[in-house]
Amino acid sequence: MKKVAIFASGSGSNAERITSYFTDSQLISVDLFLSNNPQAGVIERGRRLGIPTVLFDKKTFAKTDKIVDLLKNQHIDYVILAGFLWLIPENLVKAYPDKIINIHPALLPKYGGKGMWGHFVHEAVVANKEKESGITIHFVNERYDEGKVIFQAKFDVLPSDSPDDVAHKVQLLEHKYFPEIIEKLIVN
Ligand code: GRF
C-alpha cells in the first residue's frame, strides 16, 4: 500500500475527491491532510471523512524539519498539493524527489508563479480574452509552478464566460483527472 498525504489551504474539494476515489483501493490510501489555514474548508472535510488533519504555521513549515519528520514517521510515500498556497521548502522537496504532485488551474507556463492562484488566475484568463484554459498536474520543485509537467487538459473559454464560469470548468476537469493521474503515477 502506498500512502498519500494531501496539503490544502482552502476548500479542499480536490482533497475530498481524491480521498473518495481511493477509499476502496488496495494500492493507495489517503492517510493525512495538512493545512496552513485554520479556517480552511479542508479541515471540516477531514473531520467528516475521518482523515487526521494537521495544522502548521509558517515557521514550522519553512524553517524546521518537523513536517518532513511527521511525513516520514507516518511512512508517507507521496505528497499531493491540492490548492496549497505556500512555497515548498527545500528540505521537503529533497525528502520527496518526484513524489510531490501539484495541480494548477491553468495551462502552465501561462498564468503560473507567486500570486497566480484561484480566482486571480481565472480573472486574468478572462481579462486577456484567452480562447482556452485548462489544468496542469506537475511535479514540484523549489520554485512556484515550474516543476516538470505530468498532464494537461483543456477546455474552450467562450467570450461570454465569466471568471466563475472558468473556475467551474477548471473544477470539473480537476475532479475528473487529478485522482486518475495520481493513480497512474503511483501504480506504474
Ligand atoms: C484548485 O483549483 C487548484 O487547482 C488550485 O486551488 C484550487 C483548490 O480547490 N491550486 P479546492 O480547495 O480543492 O476546492
Q: pLDDT, tens digit, for every residue of 36-70?
A: 999 999 999 999 999 999 999 999 999 999 999 99
Report how far residue 129's alpha carbon sits from residue 99's, in angstroms, rounded to the nearest whole number: 35
For residue 135, the surrounding DSSP H or E stretch is strand 132-139
Catalytically active residues, by annotation:
104
Nearest CA to ligand 1 atom 10: 83
**pTM of the full structure:** 0.96
User: Which is nearest to 133 in space by CA: 101, 116, 158?
Assistant: 158
Which pLDDT value is given to residue 117?
A: 87
- Name the residue at shortest CA distance from atom 5 of ligand 1: 83
**All domains of the chain in start order, with CATH:** 2-187 (3.40.50.170)
Cα(10) to centroid(ligand 1), Å: 7
